[in-house]
Structures are given as structure tokens and as C-alpha cells.
Structure 1
Amino acid sequence: MAIKSFKRFEKKFILNQTEYNNLLLKLEPYMTQDEYCKLSKTYDIFNIYYDTDTDDVIRHSIASPYYKEKLRLRTYTNPTNLNSKVFLELKKKINGIVSKRRVVLTLKEAYDFLESGKPPITNDYINNQVIREVEYYLSKNKVKPKVYIAYTRNALFAKDDRDFRITFDSKILTRRDCLSLEDGCFGNDILGTNKYLMEVKFLGAIPMWFTKILSELEIYNTHFSKYGNEYMDYSYKKRYGIVERRKAIC
């Protein structure tokens, strides 16, 4: 097993294709692609978000509370069997500060934990700490697989500060059926063609050179949550009886 834990601030922006292309050119002197995006490549992220029957987790989240948290199962490749590695993540946001705690499990260990409450066995103290946090969350929130969300990502790091990171997510596909990672990547695109969700992730202050670039290109931050926007789109269609558009495939 492996664990990752960090805290940071996040700001979000929606870009069109022209803004995306122009911004990448401006960032070249200051930033470089991360190890998974070399040679202008991107990578995919696949998630299952857990929520209650009445969507209490996401309804609480979009109300912009002081504290909120979400539980999700994440992978970077479509699992082929129950021994495939996945990340079980507990993401929290407290007064605008984002923290994420996650542990690597096999898909079977994750399913056993989430479905029957059987925690994975490990002798690692830190891993056990994260598992106990998830166990506590599950005891307080009667959640189940609720939404599948997948997207393609381009990620950059500042050359002089790896804590300053920018990600560009596109083709954000969601669905509320076939809620297992093994079912593959397909769903409804909630962002739209040639659109990019830019997330700026930083500790402390945003570099002045980046603020200047945003000003020059007239790019302004907005509010966008993948799960939150999926829920609002789903609720609107459900209320007005709108039939889902044809599903896109990764």
C-alpha cells in the first residue's frame, strides 16, 4: 500500500480552445509538464463518487459550507481484474483549504471495505490511520456508489516551485448507471467540446508572473465542481423530464 496526503488552495477557470492554446504558450517559460504528460501527452482519471440515497454529500457540498468532505475510488487505468490497484481517497475542504488523504488498495480490498466494512490489513501506521479515517466516515455516512466521473488531464508544474501546479481537464464524462470502474469509460460530457477546466493548485500565494498572464489573456476564475455540476445537471433533467443525450466514450 502507499499513501499520499497534502493540503493546498485551489482556484478554477473554464477555458475555450483558443484561451487554452494561448495560455499554454505563455506558460512555457515558467512551467513544465509532469512525468505523466511528457511529449505533450495527457492521461485519464476514472472515479466513482460515494453518496447517500438522497445525495446528501453533494447537496451539502454545493451549499458552500465551512467544512465538507467526499469519498471516492480512483484509478488511472481501467481495472482488468480485482487485483488491479486503485486509490481510495477522502478529500476534505476546510475554509477553502483542500486536503486529501488516500491509500492504494487492490480493487477487491476496496470493494470489501466499502461494501461490507471489512478494512484492509496492513502493518503500516500511517496507512492504518487513513483507513481508520475512512472507516469513521463510513460509520457516519451511509454511502454507496453514486456517480462515475472520468476525464482527460494535462498537468504542469512550475519550474522553480513544484508546489505550484496547474491541471487542465477536458472531456468530463459522467453517468449514474454502471457504477463500477470495470464497466469502462463512457458517459455524458458535462463540460462540452473544446472546453477545459483549469485548476490552479498552490500553497501560499499565486506567482505574480501567472497573475500577469491571466490579466493579459483576460482569463477570470469561476466556480466549477465536477460532481457538483453533474448533480445540478442531473437534477435539472430529472425535474423537467429531459432525456439524456447520447453517451460519449473515452
Structure 2
Amino acid sequence: MAIEVFNRYENKYLMDTKAFYKIYNDLMEYMEPDEHNKDDKFYTISNLYYDTEHHSLIRNSLSKPKYREKLRIRAYGVPEADAKVYLELKKKVFGLVNKRRTSLKLDEAYDFVGTKAAPEFRKGMNQQVISEIEYFLSRYDLKPATYLAYDRIALFCKGNRDLRITFDTNIRSRRHDLKLEAGDYGEQLMERGQWLMEVKAEKTVPVWLAHMLSEHGLYRTSFSKYGNEYKKSIRSTYAASSIHLPTEQPLFEKERISL
């Protein structure tokens, strides 16, 4: 059964393809591929993010408050209308990521967010999570805002499933045709050949991993896929209208790790 409630810390690192292969090969001494990557293949994750008319959720998130939240529908690959997807409520409190999700059919997820009325409960749904999402929806008037997809390789630590490392590449997005079933196409969010590594752990990372990150010269990065897509879209809007964007913020910021 898929895990539906997560509480963990997530640290992110950006790298090029050469750096990816180096650390991936070293990680294989301690970790093993996710079942979807057993044949050395990527799997594709597609997401539909919801926001208010004035993008208040992502704007609040980008201001880096102590508490932030977002809602999305997540699918693996390109789903059919009756395919199983996940409706996810993601929160971040003082650096701790809390993700709560429930499986629904794609059309049920659309209806739930669109009408704010929870679907009739049936086996396979998480009633507690549905109630929390229903409350969240009562606080906002949401609409589809952004489609994001990427190709992923995921690893689990041997003997410690609480430690997970993912590598995402070919991150693409669009702000039109906002249906998951419409295909996983979109404009590139980063330059080709770039990878986003995420280290996900319930507690601190093991010493061997901290040393490995240091040896590879990797530093924590503040990078939100949805947040950077929003900043990129805002810049495109200003550029198209020939209006100067008042504050130019970097797409990501590096942070050195103390070992």
C-alpha cells in the first residue's frame, strides 16, 4: 500500500550530468533503485498545481514564511480519466515537510477541487486526508494554475527505507492546456543536462552521506519547481509587456553545509 502521510526533511542540490553520474555510482554502494527504476529506466511524474486567481499560495511560499502550503494532483505518466492519481496537500513548517495524500480517480480529483465537495467515501480513500483537504478548499477559491512534469530516478537506502534520494531531470511546465491527461509536454524549466537531487529523511542524514556530499562539492540549494516556474512566468510576462521587473531574484540560492 502506498504511503499517504509523510513527515520529513528535504534538502535539494543542483548538478550537471557529469556530477550526477559520479554521485549516483557512489550512492549505489549504500542504496538501491526504486521498483519503478529497476530496469535503469526513468519514470515520469506529472503534477497539476492549484492556486488562487492572484497566485497567493505560491507568492506566500516564495516569501519563505515559517508555514506554507500548496495543493496538487499527482499522477505517474499521462493518466486516463479514470486512472488512479493522488490529491496531495503539502505543508512546510519550520523546515519540516508534511505531505498528506489520498488516492482518487482523476475525474474525482477534478470534481473535488472544482466543487469543494468531497467524493463519496469508498475503500482505498483516506478519510482523514479527505477531511483535511476539504477544510483547505473551504479557505481558498482555487483553479488550475500550472502543469509540471519531470523524469525521475529514485533510490532507497538499503536497510533504512526512511532515507530516500531522488534525481529529477527534463523538468517542463505549461500554463495552458491544464489537464493531466493532455500529455506531459511543456517548456523546459532549467537548461538541459541539469539535475535536481533531493535527499529526503525523517531525521538527520547518515554520516556517510554527509561526507559524500562534501567530497562531491555539493551544497544545499533553495529550489521549488512550482516557485521557479512562477518566477519564470512572471519574468516572461514583464518581458513581453516591456515593463521592467523591479527585483531580480535568482532561481536558486546555494547554502554551504557544516559537517
Residue 21 of structure 1 corresponds to 21
1:46-57 to 2 correspondence within 5 Å? 46-57=46-57
Is the 2:14–2:194 Cα contact (8 Å) retained in structure 1? yes
Is 2:240 aligned against 1:234? no
Q: CA deviation at 1:139?
A: 0.8
SS in 2 for 1:186: coil
Residue 181 of structure 1 corresponds to 180
Q: Output the amino acid matched with 2:64.
A: S
Is the 1:14–1:198 Cα contact (8 Å) retained in structure 2? yes
Residue 162 of structure 2 corresponds to 163
Q: CA deviation at 1:242?
A: 7.8
Q: CA deviation at 1:54?
A: 0.6
Q: Output the amino acid matched with 2:213.
A: L
1:1-250 to 2 correspondence within 5 Å? 4-80=4-80, 82-122=81-121, 127-241=126-240
Q: Output the amino acid matched with 1:42.
A: F
Q: CA deviation at 1:69?
A: 0.8
Is the 1:2–1:104 Cα contact (8 Å) retained in structure 2? no
Q: Output the amino acid matched with 1:226.
A: K
- TM-score relative to the length of structure 2: 0.89
Is the 1:3–1:127 Cα contact (8 Å) retained in structure 2? no
SS in 2 for 1:222: strand
Q: Matches of 1:60 and 1:167 in 2, distance apart? A: 26
Number of residue pairs matched?
242
Query: Cα deviation per residue 1:68-112 (whole Å; 9 max; x = unaligned)?
Result: 1110011002122x2111110001111100011111111121121
SS in 2 for 1:78: coil
RMSD of Structure 2 on Structure 1 (CA): 1.8
Share of identical aligned residues, percent?
45
Runs of at least 5 residues in structure 1 that lack an aligned partner in the other structure: 244-250
Q: Matches of 2:183 and 2:31 in 1, distance apart? A: 33
Q: Matches of 1:123 and 1:230 in 2, distance apart? A: 35
Q: CA deviation at 1:3?
A: 6.3
Of stretches 212-221 and 225-234 in structure 1, the one that deviates more from structure 2 is: 212-221
Q: Matches of 1:124 and 1:182 in 2, distance apart? A: 24
Is the 1:62–1:228 Cα contact (8 Å) retained in structure 2? yes
Q: Output the amino acid matched with 1:56.
A: S
Is the 1:163–1:202 Cα contact (8 Å) retained in structure 2? yes
Q: Matches of 1:150 and 1:202 in 2, distance apart? A: 23
Residue 246 of structure 1 corresponds to none
Q: Matches of 1:2 and 1:209 in 2, distance apart? A: 28
Q: CA deviation at 1:124?
A: 6.2
